[in-house]
Amino acid sequence: MKKLWDRKTGTKTNQTVENYTVGVDYLLDLELLPYDIKGTMAHAKMLHKIKILDKKELSILITGLNKILSLWKNGKFKIDKSQEDGHTAIEAYLTENCGEVGKKVHTGRSRNDQSLTMTRLFSKEKLGKIKKETENLAKSLEQQIKKQGKIKMPGYTHMQRAMPSSVGMWLGSYCDSLKDDLICLDAVMKIIDQNPLGSAAGYGENTLGLNRGFTAKELGFGKVQANPMYCAFSRGKFENLILQASSIMPQKKNYDVLELIRGNIAVFNGYQNQIENIVKNLPAGYNRDFQLTKEPYMKGIKLALDTLEVMILVIKNLETKKTNLENACSSELYATDEALKLVRTGKNFREAYQEVKEKFYQN
Amino acid sequence: MKKLWDRKTGTKTNQTVENYTVGVDYLLDLELLPYDIKGTMAHAKMLHKIKILDKKELSILITGLNKILSLWKNGKFKIDKSQEDGHTAIEAYLTENCGEVGKKVHTGRSRNDQSLTMTRLFSKEKLGKIKKETENLAKSLEQQIKKQGKIKMPGYTHMQRAMPSSVGMWLGSYCDSLKDDLICLDAVMKIIDQNPLGSAAGYGENTLGLNRGFTAKELGFGKVQANPMYCAFSRGKFENLILQASSIMPQKKNYDVLELIRGNIAVFNGYQNQIENIVKNLPAGYNRDFQLTKEPYMKGIKLALDTLEVMILVIKNLETKKTNLENACSSELYATDEALKLVRTGKNFREAYQEVKEKFYQN
Amino acid sequence: MKKLWDRKTGTKTNQTVENYTVGVDYLLDLELLPYDIKGTMAHAKMLHKIKILDKKELSILITGLNKILSLWKNGKFKIDKSQEDGHTAIEAYLTENCGEVGKKVHTGRSRNDQSLTMTRLFSKEKLGKIKKETENLAKSLEQQIKKQGKIKMPGYTHMQRAMPSSVGMWLGSYCDSLKDDLICLDAVMKIIDQNPLGSAAGYGENTLGLNRGFTAKELGFGKVQANPMYCAFSRGKFENLILQASSIMPQKKNYDVLELIRGNIAVFNGYQNQIENIVKNLPAGYNRDFQLTKEPYMKGIKLALDTLEVMILVIKNLETKKTNLENACSSELYATDEALKLVRTGKNFREAYQEVKEKFYQN
Amino acid sequence: MKKLWDRKTGTKTNQTVENYTVGVDYLLDLELLPYDIKGTMAHAKMLHKIKILDKKELSILITGLNKILSLWKNGKFKIDKSQEDGHTAIEAYLTENCGEVGKKVHTGRSRNDQSLTMTRLFSKEKLGKIKKETENLAKSLEQQIKKQGKIKMPGYTHMQRAMPSSVGMWLGSYCDSLKDDLICLDAVMKIIDQNPLGSAAGYGENTLGLNRGFTAKELGFGKVQANPMYCAFSRGKFENLILQASSIMPQKKNYDVLELIRGNIAVFNGYQNQIENIVKNLPAGYNRDFQLTKEPYMKGIKLALDTLEVMILVIKNLETKKTNLENACSSELYATDEALKLVRTGKNFREAYQEVKEKFYQN
């Protein structure tokens, strides 16, 4: 089947160029398909509401879309490379299996509009999951703090033992950081919870009277994203916001999986960096570059979720070596405490500290 | 005067190394001095409350600190390069002018603790200002939308005229984006509004019983940042969050100041990038690297505020060329509208679009 | 078959953690397999030379390795996910099919050593290809300059027509830039042309007397990379150098494939950024993080080559619109020329320019 | 004095906008002034050669330029903020002190042309210095290797002691890396050694017949950079190349200055990142954004040179703790050596290694 949006039928694009432009969209879109179908169903229902589709046409479309979803669940729906992406695959299926009405489902909706809606639905679900896993990780930390938190360990400055600390203080510092991250995740969720469907080709629509409030409600969005130009350029912005808010917790230890987590922070930042720089300084309106954020965005999301899951496992199975840690708490860690005791007797701090330090260095 | 924290008196650090380690801190700290004094005053009051300082000692210190502030306001307080930073300059002044009590003001407080408090106070004030200027910019956009918003202009895709749009839709897309940014700014403000004072050398303090709630209230913080290790590593994290949340609005046009704004986005991102990578993958506990975030952070904040101010001026003085814009709205922009009218007569969209397009290309 | 380097037999790694640590290495390594086999053959020959393997053992190994290669060429050699990577798959095959001698091929060679050699061979081949395609692109540009170079077009400053220019000058600027890039590519080729094989576990080998000069010659390397610690940390460094040297030519136009090239520059930079940040600030010696550079490196190389190939096609098929371009060369482009003519008559430049500009603005 | 290139006399630019556009150029240019004068002298001589200036005019200009240089050396030449940059300051001085001929020195040369030449001369000198300091650092390392290289120390993998190593191997790995860097530095020097003077307003000059070969020779450039469009866009490219080639050596240790070096790598990369992103995706021809690379470029160069100088001092004063290092070489480091000895007796490596490891774990 030919690509639906080709301007001139019959032009055989050079294979090299075709491969370059298609990229891996046809693979990535397979994961996004259920979100596309959900968005398409809402659009079809709305077209019925504003009397572009009659009741029977709507019913045929919904049946067709459900059929695609069920094929997909069984691993039987494929996106052919020549179709380039999931949108074409869906429309092709509907056109071939539902007759004339398959051609109607794009009324008042551009491919870009469709794509925005699909990724927005994907984003909301994944961000919700990231939030939940972040809460789980914080919980795992709290459980470990309860269990092993009181074990003493040295606190380091400049990679040298400096002050008395504890397992609880160490784990707690990450736990508190995660709780602050949750405030960010909530703010970002609030921001992205806007319906982009109905932005049409990026400049809205004035003829049919699309009911954007209806699809917002149907898809569970908090509100309509009213400005159609903002719908378009918010895609990269929101993807960036989500990756920023879900940037992963730094970690360092001599254990394979933790070295990979450490390295993956750089990988994750690279994805974010790609998105940031793809969408920066583009001319206003739609540009094909936007398509390129899909891969780093989806990979970033997956990496964030995988890392959270692995970290939860690591924390749950964390066993600190109590004896080693406590033996490491040598007496010089308590120099400041000693000095402060002298302060209580009236000495000024600078002199008390000097006095204690000399004592420690003599020993 | 010798640096207060030098371990071994008498070692003359090589000048090259000294220059390298001091950097420009002694210049940057001049801007931060009032925040340092504010934090020091709160710490002194707290030391009085927990009976480390008596009433007279506190009074001498407060007078001394106020004297520094008044010298600073008149441009007469200097930080000598050999002092390295503002903390030393303040302590040196107090020691020389207030006698014995000048040595007491650091009781229960490390230089790092002092530095965290100073930058946190700076951050809160600047973030508040960024928020206010963002609101002003949104307001300027709204005024222009009211005034010139109805003027028609072409909407572009792939840098080619594609759809009818308007000055209002164009400016509105930025205005809506800024309003979403305000949600982020609020979340970040909520996160950073925590008192780090009392984290001592990065592992808290257990001997004197510092009253951290007291200083939180005194300094107007929403709460105490309880975990001292988190106090330390949150510095880079918060600086990064603030720059992320205040990242500036993209712009592109053939006018000197706007080309500079476009270029400055890359400069700004570079500062953020510096902070992100300075604090990443460091060993736990305090490391000297942390000091290096100060310059990119302060420059980033300044650039964000300057850019907002300039953008407000640009928007306020924006004059769109009505005739040119409307002449540019040639008939092919309305092809989709035409097609949708055919849809209303019962045609399916794909065929209607084909029909209209052929008409346009024949002309 | 169990992983060969597992310390404790019988530990069933949690599936989540296993997936996280394996990543996509088992897929990426399929592309690298022939390079691994080439390196392994050279190592085996050297072991024979220093009398660790006898003639028969060597012959069995070479036959086994050739068999793997031929299976691979027919798409029949698979790397199982549980094997994690190609090294294990090769050793497993040899152990199962060549008996005892399969276990000998790793004598004096660590997995890290093996991996370094494999990627170094891959790098040399790909860098050679990038160089060749860069030359081809420069050649395509030269052909177009010959064909269409004399067509006049306006030169822009600040996105406004400013000076007379030509298609040849425009294309030539890219062509000259590519030729300078070739100098860099040559330097990088010279740098990477070093044999890492024999670095053993990252600290060399002193017992067997590995003959590193022999394998260097066998594999076509310019010299031995003598310091084994440098062998290890040069991996990320070289990958970074290669991506830097092959960073792709900026392009901007309203044509799908060119918008993708523009966007892909950000994608490419993101890969480079990942490598840079993965290898930065790691503790000395081998760390598992190193493994994570493989994906961004291989994707970066592929993207560079694909983009070069596409650019060559674009340039070959470039047709400039002569009439449009020449009509765009309006008279104000020649203002500076006019002024310079006045200079020839003795006027100073500043005044001549002022005079001409007034003339143009009156018209 | 008014800015020379203002289009409309009398327009008072808003102070905020002026500050924003001037930035710190007027300060940075003070460091660049001698390079600007050198370039201007060469241009003047060439104008004499092609008979735009007579002998007396040339002599007046050269005297004036030498006078500026001598004022500058005594710290008495200032660039006023209202002049924006050094070019204006020089022309203003000449116009005021040399009469009519001061206005002639810009004949056939744009400010952009002048700025390119000045930074290119600066770049060549600084790159030469970086090369020299890199050689010095390599030499310091070689001296230390000679002195302390044979001291044994443990080699680490995954932050755990793993293999026997030595101070010489450790220092040597950096030394070899620096020597490879010198290959890159040479290639970049070869690339940048091109005369941009004569590119005029970015599109060359066809009326006066500027003699670009003459100025190339006068300024010591290897060749003329023929394509004027390439002259313009090569500025950011070359700055980026130079920073890439001089990116500094990673280091990690618990010593103030080394923590700063570690942190400064991120600062340095941030500068590079700023340049890369400022010049990326700009429309063809001159854009004002280009000016913004000046600060990160000059700061990057300074940081590279300062760091090299500090590293040389660090290496020169390096004292390794022989006893501690040798005590740390515990027997398990030699497990692989033991295994390889067994290999020499005929055992296959995998089994020999297993046998030795069990022995070590029993002890």
Q: What is the pLDDT of residue D360?
A: 66
Q: Which residue of B has its CA nearest to D18?
A: B257
Contacts of B203 in chain A (CB under 8 A): 155, 162-165, 169
pLDDT at D253 over 50: no
Rounded CA-CA distance A124/A56 in Å is 32
pLDDT at A10 over 90: no
What is the predicted ipTM?
0.84
Please, which pLDDT band fits residue D1 given cuts at 50, 70 and 90? very low
Higher pLDDT, A16 or C324: C324
Q: Determine which of C161, C180, C288, C342 to mutate to test the interface with D (most D C-beta atoms within 10 Å).
A: C180
pLDDT at D252 over 70: no
pLDDT tens digits for range A340-349:
888 888 788 7
pLDDT at A12 over 70: no
For the record, the structure tokens of C244 come out as 């830097």
Higher pLDDT, D187 or A355: D187
Please, which pLDDT band fits residue A128 given cuts at 50, 70 and 90? very high
Please, which pLDDT band fits residue B97 given cuts at 50, 70 and 90? very high
pLDDT at A4 over 80: no
Strands (E), chain A: 152-157, 160-166, 194-195, 223-224
CB C210 within 8 A of CB C156: no
Q: What is the pLDDT of residue C2?
A: 41
Please, which pLDDT band fits residue A118 given cuts at 50, 70 and 90? very high
* Angle, CA B316 vertex, CA B315 and CA B318 arms, to 5°: 60
Using alpha carbons, list the distances in angstroms from residue C14 to A314, C20, C292.
10, 10, 20
pLDDT at D216 over 50: yes
Catalytic residues of A: 158, 246
CA A346 centroid distance within chain: 56
Please, which pLDDT band fits residue A182 given cuts at 50, 70 and 90? very high
Q: What is the pLDDT of residue B13?
A: 54
For the record, the structure tokens of C323 come out as 């009439």
User: B-contacting residues of C 200-229, CB under 8 Å?
Assistant: none
% of chain A surpassing 70 pLDDT: 91
**Which of D211, D153, D197, D160 minimizes the C-alpha distance to D328?**
D153
pLDDT tens digits for range B44-58:
999 999 999 999 999
Superfamily of domain B15-104 in CATH is Fumarase/aspartase (N-terminal domain) (1.10.275.10)
> Nearest-CA distance from D1 to chain B in Å?
21
Please, which pLDDT band fits residue B226 given cuts at 50, 70 and 90? very high
Please, which pLDDT band fits residue A246 given cuts at 50, 70 and 90? confident
Contacts of B178 in chain A (CB under 8 A): none
Out of A315-329, B69-83, B128-142, C187-201, which region has the weakest mean confidence (pLDDT)? A315-329
Q: What is the pLDDT of residue D272?
A: 82
The chains found to touch B (3+ Cβ pairs under 8 angstroms) are A, C, D
Contacts of A344 in chain B (CB under 8 A): 52, 207-208
pLDDT at D11 over 70: no
Superfamily of domain B111-322 in CATH is Fumarase/aspartase (Central domain) (1.20.200.10)
Q: What is the pLDDT of residue A362?
A: 56
Q: What is the pLDDT of residue A251?
A: 37
Quote the pTM value.
0.85
The beta-carbon neighbor of C170 closest among D190, D229, D340 is D229
pLDDT tens digits for range C4-45:
434 444 445 567 777 877 788 888 899 999 999 999 999 999
pLDDT tens digits for range D278-318:
877 676 666 777 778 878 888 888 888 888 788 788 778 87
Rounded CA-CA distance B156/B158 in Å is 7
Q: Is D256 on the interface with A (CB under 8 A)?
A: yes
Contacts of D202 in chain C (CB under 8 A): 155, 157, 162-163
Q: What is the pLDDT of residue C227?
A: 92
In chain C, how long is the greatest CA-to-CA distance? 94
Q: Which residue of D has its CA nearest to C100?
A: D348
Q: Which residues make up the CATH 1.20.200.10 domain(s) of chain C?
A: 111-322
Counting other chains too, the contacts that B49-52 makes at CB distance below 8 Å and 24 or more residues apart are B49/B211, B49/B214, B50/B208, B50/B209, B50/B210, B50/B211, B52/A343, B52/A344, B52/B104, B52/B107, B52/B108, B52/B208
Q: Which residues make up the CATH 1.10.275.10 domain(s) of chain C?
A: 15-104
The chains found to touch D (3+ Cβ pairs under 8 angstroms) are A, B, C
Catalytic residues of B: 158, 246
CB A268 within 8 A of CB A247: yes
Q: What is the pLDDT of residue C46?
A: 97
Contact C156 D241 (CB under 8 A): no
For the ranges B290-299, D19-28, D97-106, the maximum mean pLDDT occurs at D97-106
% of chain D surpassing 90 pLDDT: 37
CB D191 within 8 A of CB C184: yes
Residue D165: strand, helix, or coil: strand
**Which of C227, C312, C240 minimizes the C-alpha distance to C271?**
C240
* Angle, CA A234 vertex, CA A228 and CA A237 arms, to 5°: 170
Catalytic residues of D: 158, 246
Q: Determine which of A274, A280, A297 to mutate to test the interface with C (most C C-beta atoms within 10 Å).
A: A274
Q: What is the pLDDT of residue B46?
A: 97
Q: What is the pLDDT of residue A256?
A: 66
Rounded CA-CA distance D166/D155 in Å is 8
Q: What is the pLDDT of residue A253?
A: 38
Q: Residue type at B141?
A: L
% of chain C surpassing 90 pLDDT: 37
Secondary structure letter of residue B181 according to DSSP: H
Q: Is D292 on the interface with B (CB under 8 A)?
A: yes
% of chain C surpassing 70 pLDDT: 91
Q: What is the pLDDT of residue D56?
A: 96
Q: What is the mean pLDDT of residues D48-72?
A: 96
Q: Is A157 on the interface with D (CB under 8 A)?
A: no
Q: What is the pLDDT of residue D81?
A: 86
pLDDT at D49 over 80: yes
pLDDT at A360 over 50: yes
The beta-carbon neighbor of A20 closest among C257, C269, C271 is C257
pLDDT at D4 over 70: no
pLDDT tens digits for range A55-113:
999 999 999 999 999 999 999 999 998 888 899 999 999 999 998 888 888 888 988 89
% of chain B surpassing 70 pLDDT: 90
Contacts of D184 in chain C (CB under 8 A): 184, 187-188, 191, 241
Mean pLDDT, chain A, rounded, equals 84
**Which of C362, C363, C343, C344 minimizes the C-alpha distance to C353?**
C343
CB D277 within 8 A of CB D305: no
pLDDT at A48 over 80: yes
Mean pLDDT, chain D, rounded, equals 84
